[in-house]
Amino acid sequence: MNITAEQVKALRDKTGAGMIDCKKALTEAEGDFEKAIEILRKKGAAVASKRADRTANEGIILTKISDDLKNGLILEINCETDFVAKNDDFKNFAEYALEAIWNKKPANLEEALSIEYKNTSIKNELDALVGKIGEKITVSRFGFLSVLNGIVGDYIHFGSKLGVLVSISAKELSEKDELKLLAKEIAMQIAAMKPGWISRNEVPKEITDKELEIYKDLARKEGKPENILDKIAQGRLNKFYEENCLLEQIYIKDNNKKIQTLIDEYNKKYKSEIKVEKMFRYHVSDEVKQ
């Protein structure tokens, strides 16, 4: 069967697949446009299956905030190379996945891949992209934050490989612009200093117990008297909190302030009662995936 250049171009414009692949698909489909699209999708799925055991440690982080600042989404899309992470097709797919997840609110990754959005699904678009690019590409994790009273803030570091989403509750929003600026500062702090928890009250007891045990053992090996080991260990635990709990961290823009100080100053100035509720910090090199 004679496949015209116009048919090949139309299929390429529709799917983004290469010219040769489009011609082969149309030939196999005997000119049936929809069947050719299905053939290309299956090819992409087959390529994706072959790439499944490969490592995808590059990619981008994206965020989206609602107009009223009460809801936010953070998403990580991974690929194998930084070159692909900068590819327009990859970035367009990431934006599509962001919009699809934002609109459909899936509960988990499995559900996210199967949701229908704009006459297709993330799985179909993903398979088509893998077939076109030839790299392993994954939708790795996503998280939603929302507040009834307050705002959700975000920060994406240059290069889009590090992103933060943070929710802040507030009784009054009379100074919404100021709170938005503060949320950005706190998000930047989270990005830079990688706190594991918001406050020391969130640190699991098994972790604090383990840290205390380590500090006591170190002090004992340093020759410290047994009767002051607990005091030394507690002091070092406080240092652990200062390094790993957001509210106790030194503010990256002012060594004389802690993050809790920033919040206290805001509350005093605007007679408010804001509180950092939850946070997500995604980095493309993180080992832990959702």
Give residue 287's pLDDT band: very low, low, confident or very high (50, 70, 90): low
Nearest to 162 by CA among 187, 196, 181, 143: 187
**What's the CATH fold of domain 5-51?**
Helicase, Ruva Protein; domain 3 (1.10.8)
Superfamily the domain 55-146 falls into: Elongation factor Ts, dimerisation domain (3.30.479.20)
Can you count the helices (H) and strands (E) in the chain?
Answer: 11, 8
The structural domains of the chain, with segments of one domain joined by +, span 5-51, 55-146, 204-244
List helix spans (H) across the chain: 5-15, 19-28, 33-51, 82-85, 88-104, 109-114, 122-133, 176-193, 205-221, 229-244, 259-270
pLDDT digits (tens, 9 = 90+) for 174-220: 678 899 999 999 999 999 999 999 999 999 999 999 999 999 999 99
Task: Report pLDDT for 42.
Answer: 67
Per-residue pLDDT, 290: 41
Q: Is 80 exceeded by the pLDDT of residue 11? A: no
Summarize pLDDT for 217-276 with one digit per residue, the tens: 999 998 999 899 999 999 999 999 999 999 999 999 999 999 999 999 999 999 899 999
**Alpha-carbon gap, residue 265 to 122, rounded angstroms:** 45
CA proximity to 164, closest of 189, 138, 196, 139: 189
pLDDT in tens, 98-116: 999 999 999 999 999 999 9
pTM, two decimals, is 0.81
Q: CATH 1.10.286.20: does it fit domain 204-244?
A: yes
Contact 282, 94 (CB under 8 A): no
Task: Tokens 């996210």: give the residue.
Answer: 112
